[in-house]
Structure 1
Amino acid sequence: MAIVRWSPRRSLLDLYNEVNRIFDTFFSGIEEEEDTLVTNFYPAVDIEEREKDYYVTVELPGVKKDDVKITIKDNMLTISGEKKSEKKEKGKDYHRSERVYGKFQRTFRLPDMVETENVQAEYKDGILHITIPKKKEAMAKEIEIKVK
């Protein structure tokens, strides 16, 4: 039988992520799908609905641009990649090592009324910004009411 190290911090983080996922399902037009990749590195994501688009911000500190992949298939936005560990030098005796490395994947179901062919992404200083435009028919229209 393998001995597995239990981390109360990790368990609390898992609970926090699950509660956030449940709330996101109820209060958001964009739902997160179950991650198919088990990982210790779970980047934080904000999704903002604006008038003309959805704006996604992903925190990826320590991840290189070339190690990030964005795909959209069947209205599913997937952000995946890998946070590679630094090489640990032999002879160093770590008293504490809390940084997390590894592969990650976050997948979100997009609303039907988005233009997936016009998505734009920018990566700067460990922050990934993705802009997903809404289709014109999905944007709010202002109708003037004439008083007679």
Structure 2
Amino acid sequence: MNLQKLNPWNWFKHEEGTPAADSQIPIQRSSVDNPPTAGSASHPMMQLHREIDRLFDEAFRGFGLRSLPSIPDWSGMADDATFRPRLNVSSDEKSYEVSLEAPGMTRSDLSLDIKGDVLTIRGEKREEQEDREKHYYRVERRYGMFQRVLSLPDDADIDAIAANMKDGVLKIRIPRREVAEGTVKSVEIGD
């Protein structure tokens, strides 16, 4: 049995802020068992922030004043200050699949490039024109340009990669191919 096949591939070794290329990246899923992080809505600091906002709003209404405009949503700022769509990477015996959340985007907003063993997904989510006469209490949508860089495994068939977009999700199918085991070359040790 080839134990190397059980070792997960580090797809994110070319993205900034990721662990070193030789480290393992465990599968992460959100669950109620995970403790709240500094940017999550259930973190005590975020709860305190919301409560202080509520108290100030009540105080201003007591004087007959309008409530203060709310500051931007801080819950996501601890994770990312820019627009960065989330993605999933999965596989079976025949192929890998990368699915990227791209709501409100079209195929013309995205581009896929492959250079060597690196797949780069670029895109831009443009801000919608909103009525400037309205007073917004909260704006949670994020806009801007993004780039996701994925390192392709050795068994990825780069020439057969296909992508499609449906219902705001970009799906990239990367077929797997057999990788010939490398031949062993002996090196003679000199004096």
Q: Same fold (TM over 0.5)?
A: yes
Aligned-partner Cα distance in 1 for 2:8–2:143: 29
Stretches of structure 1 lacking an aligned partner (at least 5 in a row):
1-26, 139-148
- 1:96 has 2:76 as partner: no
How many percent of aligned residue pairs carry the same amino acid? Answer: 38
Match runs of 1:1-148 below 5 Å: 28-32=8-12, 33-35=14-16, 40-137=82-179
Provide closer, same or farther for how the CA distance between residues 54 and 30 of structure 1 changes in structure 2, counting only shifts above 3 A.
Answer: farther
- The alignment's C-alpha RMSD in Å is 2.0
Aligned-partner Cα distance in 1 for 2:147–2:16: 7
The alignment covers a number of residue pairs equal to 111
Query: Structure 2 length as normaliser, TM-score?
Result: 0.54
Preserved contact between residue 41 and residue 103 of structure 1 (Cα < 8 Å) = yes
Aligned-partner Cα distance in 1 for 2:93–2:115: 24
Aligned-partner Cα distance in 1 for 2:159–2:141: 36
How far apart are 1:42 and its partner, in Å?
1.2
Aligned-partner Cα distance in 2 for 1:53–1:109: 15
- Which structure would you say has the larger Rg? 2
Counterpart of 1:119, as a letter, is: I
Counterpart of 1:66, as a letter, is: S
Q: Quick one: higher RCO (CA 8 Å, sep 6+), 1 or 2?
A: 1
Stretches of structure 2 lacking an aligned partner (at least 5 in a row):
1-6, 18-79, 181-191
How far apart are 1:60 and its partner, in Å?
0.8
Q: Which residue of the partner structure matches residue 23 of structure 2? A: none
Preserved contact between residue 39 and residue 102 of structure 1 (Cα < 8 Å) = no
Counterpart of 2:146, as a letter, is: F
Q: Identify the structure with the greater helix proportion.
A: 1
Aligned-partner Cα distance in 2 for 1:56–1:30: 14
Query: Structure 1 length as normaliser, TM-score?
Result: 0.68
